[in-house]
Amino acid sequence: MRIIRYALFAAPLLLLSIVALAQPKHAARETAGQTNQAEAKAEPSASSASAESDLGGPPPKTVAPSESKLSPLNPEANELSNGVPQAPPADYDKLLGDIATLRSRVSALTSTLFASKVRVAVETRAADARVVSLSVTLDDGVVFTAPEQFVSEDERTVYEHAVAPGHHVLGVDIERFDARNKEYRTWQSSRFSIVIPESKLVDAHLIIQDSSDMGKDFPDDQDGEYDLRVRLRARVER
């Protein structure tokens, strides 16, 4: 009986000892498994970081077209013509009238403020040269544009207006071709500085001369000459 009692008393103690010994091993196994999983997860990060360092950073995120900022110079959708002629605005004629009125007032105001004037006359001298285009500028502003086939064998006044006294720049831009051979053309740009005295009229006489023989001589004997001259004579009238 004692042996049986001792066995019944010792059996639970033995079972508790076995459980206690088994638990640390099971916990160690779980801890080791978690550590291996963490290392497995960390390895791709290290490899991806290495790849990024070799290939550079990831490409920038593209912005959707709707989110991109458009230039203020881009026309709005309703600004583009659909090919159908648009009717002028209701106040179009009024705007044209206002512009004409303002120009007249500016011209009158200029004449009132400045008693100095400039008169520009043009004379062309060329037997075989034909004018394609000709324009006269004053201080880089175009004051005269010649019509097609412009010819002025006599002195022709093309501009007269009040200006501020002092220094001004008178210019001529001209394109010509040889009537004997249109393949031979010339382009010429000339600028002249003039001084307009206080309360005086300055007459500026431009003489445009072309004595070139390139169109005639060069096709025959491969020897020709361009002879272009633009002269300005300025004198005070009063």
pLDDT in tens, 56-91: 666 666 555 555 566 665 656 665 556 566 666 667
* Mean pLDDT, residues 84-105: 76
Assign domain 114-236 to a CATH class: mainly beta
- C-alpha distances (whole Å) from 135 to each of 83, 146, 159, 174, 227 are 35, 6, 11, 7, 20
* Higher per-residue pLDDT: 19 or 126: 126
pLDDT at residue number 194: 95
Structure tokens at 182: 């249109």
Interatomic CA distance for residues 61 and 67, integer angstroms:
12
Q: Which residues pair with 82 in a beta bridge?
A: none
Q: In terms of residues, how long is the chain? A: 238
Interatomic CA distance for residues 92 and 86, integer angstroms:
12
Average pLDDT, the chain: 77
pLDDT at 26 > cutoff 50: no
Interatomic CA distance for residues 79 and 215, integer angstroms:
50
The answer to whether the beta carbons of residues 206 and 172 sit under 8 Å apart is yes
pLDDT at residue number 202: 95
pLDDT at 199 > cutoff 60: yes
